[in-house]
Amino acid sequence: MSFVELHPDTGPAPTTLPVDSDWWRGAVIYQIYPRSFQDTNGDGVGDLAGIIHRLPHIASLGVDAIWISPFFRSPMLDFGYDVSDYCDVDAMFGTLGDFDALISHAHELGLRVLIDLVLSHTSAQHPWFQESRQSRDNARANWYVWAEAKPDGSPPNNWLSIFGGSAWEWDGERMQYYLHNFLKEQPDLNFHEPAVQDALLDVARFWLDRGVDGFRLDTVNFYVHDKQLRDNPPLDPGLRNENTAPAVNPYNFQDHLYDKTQPENLLFLHRLRELMDRYGAITSVGEVGESQRGMEVQAAYTAGDDYLHMCYDFAFLSNARPTGTHVAETLEAFDRIAPDSWACWAFSNHDVVRWVTRWNVPPEKVRVLAGLLLSMRGSICLYQGEELGLGEVYVAYEDLQDPYGKRFWPKFRGRDGCRTPMPWNRDNQNSGFTEGKPWLPVSVEHQNHAVNLQEADEDSILVFYRRMIELRKHHPELTKGSFRTVEAEEDFLSFVREHDGKRMFCAFNMSDQSRDVALPEGNWIKDEAAPFVSTPTEHGITLPPYQAVFAVERSA
């Protein structure tokens, strides 16, 4: 296998894409989990060179941008979400020169590049934390969240870690507890300290200067904690859900009023937006981990032009099946709660069970749900392998890498099942991912979904995604238009998208029975470019099982 020749580290990559400050609105963004995308050096872990090599595949989908999960220097206890140096590439992924080459090649292919910034916490090996823990009066003593023990030696309050147990870890060096919302090796930064905010803005500036087109902001509502360290109240058991943590995790037992989503967070987001706006066509996508008040937080974080460009919560990343009623209610609720905001929707990412498995979707239903996602009002994130129709992989305990899964096994098996390597070529070793031993097993089930097989099949799910994304890009009604529900039932949804006086009618039959669909008033004609079949009748359209129709108004 040959790979592109990388440029030397000669500094920031040039930006060659046209300036369009509104490019992100309605965009399709492809998420890359670099460890599992493509390995080029045989160590079994994907790298930046591998991403460069596979950029043509991503560009062929017609997506607008890529989002790359963390590749910064890290001890990899949480696989890059524990950063020990924000301004360097971990050696397992390559070099800053590789990253510059990636930016350059992506831009040549018309792809914008978002990177995953993890600002709420660092690795315990970060020099900032190593200095902070040395004493209570050093230059960075207040850069992390330190607190005294209670008189009996117990933690300062009842806050819990998403990864299990108390969110507080005792440090014998300072003789204090420090806060960690995730692993104990991921101490939380103290955003009440102005120097911390300044340092993190410098991090964002470093990558903007290198040519990135925006940021996906990990756990964006975890940045600021309650300064008084008040206890979280218990949550009514009837309100518990699995949008932020699995049911087996007692994290769901609390109403997280004080350990995250504090009002002071908006002040930092405003400073970050001011910085991004100096660079022109930059965007930001905030991950909001908030089970009870998700859309309200999104509305606040994306209001007007002062904060983030868009957020996505966990509405379609949960176990709740996307029925017609649920989808319609969710989209309508967003328009009602956040009328001045822009949504970003996803069915899968690196933290949840792949949606084909999560919702137990039969093969014949995959297209209609994928078409529904790509017709929603808002921007769309696709997770690597989603375009192949990949399902979740069972990873045996002895092969497990995810500390979250090890903590709650077997009732929660962690996130490794959605992170296994991409299947590129069925006939190659490890499906073309690596010539070495892959860091996670290559799925036998995924081999028959390999890219090389689907490329040769005009009826494949891969070709379907290309056609559906092309349809979305061809119609501003789908990328930027308004949304109005026409009819919503358990297994059926129809709506109208409208932009600049043009309307598109979209209807989705998610059942195993044919259905007659009445068209709204108007002179409608089926869009022949849509990757679905339908049969006109005197009453409107007959939709076969698991089919959709996209109709446009005929010009007068």
**DSSP H or E stretch at residue 170:** strand 168-171
Between CA 101 and CA 9 the distance in angstroms is 9
516 belongs to the catalytic site? no
**Length of the chain as a residue count:** 556
Decide if 514 contacts 533 (C-beta within 8 A): no
> Which segments of 38-124 does DSSP mark as H helices, in order?
48-61, 96-108
Between CA 11 and CA 4 the distance in angstroms is 19
Between CA 166 and CA 155 the distance in angstroms is 8
Range 447-468 burial, b when 16+ CB lie within 10 A, else e: bebbbebbeeeeebbbbbbbbb
Decide if 57 contacts 388 (C-beta within 8 A): no
Q: Is 59 helix (H, G, I), strand (E, B) or coil?
A: helix
Structure tokens that stand for 527 in this block: 């869009």
How far are the Cα atoms of 36, 44, 88, 349, 546 from residue 71, in angstroms, in the given order?
Answer: 12, 15, 8, 16, 39
The torsion angle over the Cα atoms of residues 522, 527, 533 and 537, rounded to 10 degrees, is 30
Decide if 64 contacts 28 (C-beta within 8 A): yes
Q: Which residue has the tokens 């937080």?
A: 297
Cis peptide before 410 (omega within 30 of 0): yes
Q: Which residue has the tokens 């960690």?
A: 180
Structure tokens that stand for 352 in this block: 């949840």
Between CA 351 and CA 365 the distance in angstroms is 23
Catalytic hit among 39, 47, 213, 287: 287
259 belongs to the catalytic site? no
How far are the Cα atoms of 123, 147, 153, 232, 253 from residue 156, in angstroms, in the given order?
Answer: 22, 7, 9, 12, 18
The torsion angle over the Cα atoms of residues 444, 446, 451 and 457, rounded to 10 degrees, is 100
Catalytic hit among 47, 169, 218, 553: 218
Q: Could you give the strand order of the β-sheet that contains 168-171, starting from the edge strand earlier in sequence? A: 146-147, 176-179, 168-171
Residues 6+ apart with CB under 8 A from 141: 132, 135
So which residues are the catalytic ones?
218, 287
